[in-house]
Amino acid sequence: MFEQGEQTGGKMNRIEFDSCVFDTGPTLITMPFVLENYFSSIGLTLADNLTLCKVEPACHYRWSDGSSLDLPFEMDDVARAIEDFAPGNGAPVSRYLEQARELYDLTKDVFIFSPFRGFREFWSLKNVRMLPHLHRLRFMSSLHSVHSKTFSDPRIVQLFDRFATYNGSSPYLAPATLMVIPWVEIGLGAWYVKGGIYTIAEVFTRVAQENGVRIHLRSRVESINVERGTACGVTLTDGSIIAADHVVSNADVFVTRRHLLGVELDEPTNLSSSGLVMLMSVEKADHGLAQHNVLFSDDYPGEFAALATEDRPRKNASIYISRSSHADVTQAPSDRENWFVLVNAPPKGKSNVHDQDQISSWDGHAETQAQLVLEQMSSFGVRPVVRQMMIRTPDTMASEWSSYKGALYGSSSNSMFSAFLRPRQRSSDVANLWYVGGSAHPGGGVPLVITSGMIAADLILSSLST
């Protein structure tokens, strides 16, 4: 395996400063059974390798009118908490979660856990049981339109709309099929991993090495070599050529095709969002926050419209704050906290690691943007005393991980056809070339990325036996 970075993990990575430990990407894990399945597929157990912890409350939400809601971890407590906060919305939330569970059960084997070959497979005999339920897939309505018809309180609409951002999409454009996201978080739980989320990457790396995988760090692939339409290895930037029977690319699919295969491609028009991340060591203090927190902007439609039209996030964008030191003493000394602050940003960073000289809309603007975020936090009564800060922009995402323009999940789900158009594991034009990761089927987020790798592994093994 060839990784251009200093350590394995990609977006799931770890940075340390001021004696604090920071995850750089994922801060919560959903669908823990995917991790269980991964370990059991190689004869190991999740419990022997990782400690998953419940996060209580699951999230602290705060609005600009001063109201706030702590959403409980246990699903059975969610409707009651919402009813107390927004009378009349508890029963609709219960009904909504039940519908979302049905939708997940109906779609998961087709859209998530199988290789899924697009429209043709969707209409095939094996999915015939889904046909009478097509209306329940809610392709034709936006996530926001379903939420605004279901909940009478605009704050509850906004709370559920936010789940579209879990794969870099807009609730005003993405189909209501994405109701499966709140279901997996609320119904199946959002978990923290003791020692930090990066522990998952560390354990996966160890397990891979114990099973014979040789990992070469600081080794960037310059091109994928193809002979007579079949992938036959890679060339590294230092000129070495490595022969292989199969090539699996975990890099962004668009970047793989344009830069590593040299395919001429039009600019993508449906990129997922990127992010402005501020990692901050702060003085320990009581701001009334939980481990996960969201400070909601009071112009959500404007915030998402700006992601499509502007270069950088709006002044009053919503803010996510994760403080894993709240639950895990290994992440910061007793007098400070490790804040991970994320604001959704347009995917308009430098286009990739190969092009560092490009001018980006972020050049010279990161500090100003970070200052705006701190001012916005202050308007919610959150005024941390910052000891040290590291700012990471879409340029950082593009250069460290070669994500095109810093988009965090490849293409967004901002159209009813997104799930059908996402690149599959098997390359359609080069034999023995496979795509895995968040920009490939079934999509972004840790459990789906692990699933994409497992689907590719199954396909490669079955191709070897035919």
Ligand X SMILES: Cc1cc2nc3c(=O)[nH]c(=O)nc-3n(C[C@H](O)[C@H](O)[C@H](O)COP(=O)(O)OP(=O)(O)OC[C@H]3O[C@@H](n4cnc5c(N)ncnc54)[C@H](O)[C@@H]3O)c2cc1C
Q: Binding pattern to ligand X, positions 51-90, x when CB under 6 A?
A: ----------------------------------------
Say if CB 434 and CB 459 are below 8 A apart. yes
User: Quick one: tokens of 258?
Assistant: 């344009």
- Residue 53 Cβ, how far from ligand X at the closest point, in Å? 14
Closest to ligand X by CB, 182 or 438: 438
Q: Binding pattern to ligand X, positions 5-44, x when CB under 6 A?
A: x----xxx------------xxxx----------------
Site for ligand X in 324-343 (CB under 6 A): 342
Site for ligand X in 272-301 (CB under 6 A): 275, 277
Cα–Cα distance between 415 and 394 in angstroms, integer?
A: 23
- Residue 123 Cβ, how far from ligand X at the closest point, in Å? 29
What residues contact residue 85 under an 8 Å CB cut-off, 6+ apart? 67, 69, 155
- Residue 131 Cβ, how far from ligand X at the closest point, in Å? 31
- Residue 255 Cβ, how far from ligand X at the closest point, in Å? 7
> Cα–Cα–Cα angle for 316, 321, 323, nearest 5°?
160
Cα–Cα distance between 379 and 129 in angstroms, integer?
A: 51
Closest to ligand X by CB, 185 or 337: 185
> Is position 139 an interface residue for ligand X (rule: CB under 6 A)?
no
> Is position 224 an interface residue for ligand X (rule: CB under 6 A)?
no
Q: Binding pattern to ligand X, positions 420-439, x when CB under 6 A?
A: -----------------xx-
Cα–Cα distance between 198 and 206 in angstroms, integer?
A: 13
Closest to ligand X by CB, 2 or 113: 2
Which member of 150, 250, 414, 451 binds ligand X (CB under 6 A)? 250
Please count the residues of this chain forming the interface with ligand X, following the rule CB under 6 A: 29
Closest to ligand X by CB, 12 or 157: 12
Q: Binding pattern to ligand X, positions 251-270, x when CB under 6 A?
A: x-------------------
- Residue 130 Cβ, how far from ligand X at the closest point, in Å? 26
- Residue 300 Cβ, how far from ligand X at the closest point, in Å? 19
> Is position 408 an interface residue for ligand X (rule: CB under 6 A)?
yes
Instruction: Give the 3-state DSSP-derived string for the chain, with helices as H, strands as E and coil as C.
Output: CECCCCCCCCCCCEEEECCEEEECCCCCECCHHHHHHHHHHCCCCHHHHCCEEECCCCEEEECCCCCEEEECCCHHHHHHHHHHHCCCCHHHHHHHHHHHHHHHHHHHHHHHCCCCCCHHHHCCHHHHHHHHHHHHHCCCCEHHHHHHHHCCCHHHHHHHHHHHHHHCCCCCCCEHHHHHHHHHHHHHCCEEECCCCHHHHHHHHHHHHHCCCCCECCCCEEEEEEECCEEEEEEECCCCEEECCCEEECCCHHHHHHHHCCCCCCCCCCECCEEEEEEEEEECCCCCCCCEEEECCCCHHHHHHHHHHCCCCCCCCCEEEEEHHHCCHHHCCCCEEEEEEEEEECCCCCCCCCCCCCCCCCCCCHHHHHHHHHHHHHHCCCCCCEEEEEEECHHHHHHHHCCHHHCCCCECCCCCCHHHHCCCCECCCCECEEECCCCCCCCCCHHHHHHHHHHHHHHHHHHHCC
- Residue 51 Cβ, how far from ligand X at the closest point, in Å? 17
Site for ligand X in 191-220 (CB under 6 A): 220
Closest to ligand X by CB, 13 or 432: 13
Closest to ligand X by CB, 79 or 440: 440
Closest to ligand X by CB, 173 or 181: 181
Closest to ligand X by CB, 146 or 377: 377
- Residue 239 Cβ, how far from ligand X at the closest point, in Å? 14
Closest to ligand X by CB, 26 or 72: 26
- Residue 450 Cβ, how far from ligand X at the closest point, in Å? 9
Closest to ligand X by CB, 150 or 258: 258
> Is position 401 an interface residue for ligand X (rule: CB under 6 A)?
yes
What are the φ/ψ torsions at residue 83 (nearest 5 degrees)?
Answer: -60, -40
The residue of the chain with the least Cβ separation from ligand X equals 10
Q: Which of 342, 364, 398, 443 is nearest to 25 (CA)?
A: 342
- Residue 234 Cβ, how far from ligand X at the closest point, in Å? 8
Which member of 445, 450, 455, 456 binds ligand X (CB under 6 A)? 445
Which residues contact ligand X (rule: CB under 6 A)? 2-5, 10-12, 25-28, 220-221, 250-251, 275, 277, 342, 401-403, 408-409, 437-438, 444-446, 449
